[in-house]
Amino acid sequence: MKISASLLDASDRISSVDKLNQTGISYLHIDVMDGKMVDNIQFQDMDEIKSINNLSHFKLQIHLMVEDVSSYLDRFIGLNIESITFHLETKQDILENIQRIHDMGYRCGIAICPDTDIQDIYPYLDKIDMILLMSVIPGRGGQSFILDTKDKIIMLKNYIGKNHLSVLIEVDGGINDKTISLVKDADVAVVGSYIVKSDHYIERVNSLLD
Ligand code: DX5
Ligand code: ZN
């Protein structure tokens, strides 16, 4: 299991990156919100994202919670990015956005909200690299983990295995030292407030990796 640390709720994001550089995480997770797809506006300032990118020892994972995905993509050209993920719930041409992200040289993920039927993502699984399974309603950090996510991970894993697909499962929201055991069948866990709201980053990350 790899950890992707979300900076969303860090009180000072730049000093958080410095502290995360000392830990055993694998990626930094950047939650871009447009105030339309979710009722929160975050990470609209590219200078902030570029500063984080320059300081980070880890590649960035971009989680786009935005309606107009296609207008957001070009700004990420040239950064040290592992993947760009957008939501299945957007009304845009999904195949076109997958292609554009791959053409930029990044891996592509599709995120799926807790209320969306998991089977809706099946037609895209042979075209993407990662599923971002939301275990909270997107828009805020610090929410409680939605328990039926555990069954969805198993369902997805079975489907992926049966169909010989090579897509990874990442789970996002409400993950801490108690709930991490519920997502052990996933490949990557996104963890925000449990790490960045603490004074002991290394210990918190280790408690998730043990
Ligand atoms: C929620 C974001 C998450 C969030 C996770 O919309 O996508 O990445 O920051 O934060 P915690 O771990 O506090 O739930
Ligand atoms: Zn996220």
Closest C-alpha to ligand 1, atom 4: 141
Mean pLDDT score, 25-44: 98
pLDDT at 137: 98
169: helix, strand or coil: strand
Q: How close is the Cα of 93 to the center of ligand 2, in Å?
A: 21
For 134-161, the pLDDT digits (tens) are 999 999 999 999 999 999 999 999 999 9
pLDDT at 210: 72
* 172 noted as active-site residue: yes
Mean pLDDT score, 177-189: 97
User: Considering the chain, what is the average pLDDT of its residues?
Assistant: 97
pLDDT at 2: 98
For 110-138, the pLDDT digits (tens) are 999 999 999 999 999 999 999 999 999 99
pLDDT at 70: 97
pLDDT at 91: 87
Which of 27, 134, 140, 208 has most ligand 1 atoms within 8 Å of CB, for mutation? 140
Ligand 1 atom nearest the C-alpha of 193 is: 13
Q: How far out from the chain centre does Cα 167 lie?
A: 14
pLDDT exceeds 90 at position 73: yes
97 contacts 69 by C-beta, under 8 angstroms: yes
pLDDT exceeds 80 at position 15: yes
Q: How far apart are CA 12 and CA 58, in angstroms?
A: 18
Q: Name residue 9's beta-bridge partners.
A: none
Q: How close is the Cα of 15 to the center of ligand 1, in Å?
A: 19
Q: How far out from the chain centre does Cα 44 lie?
A: 17
Which of 93, 172, 187, 210 is catalytic? The answer is 172
Closest ligand to the CA of 109: 2
147's tokens: 């328990």
% of the chain at pLDDT higher than 90? 99
pLDDT exceeds 90 at position 176: yes
For 90-108, the pLDDT digits (tens) are 989 999 999 999 999 999 9
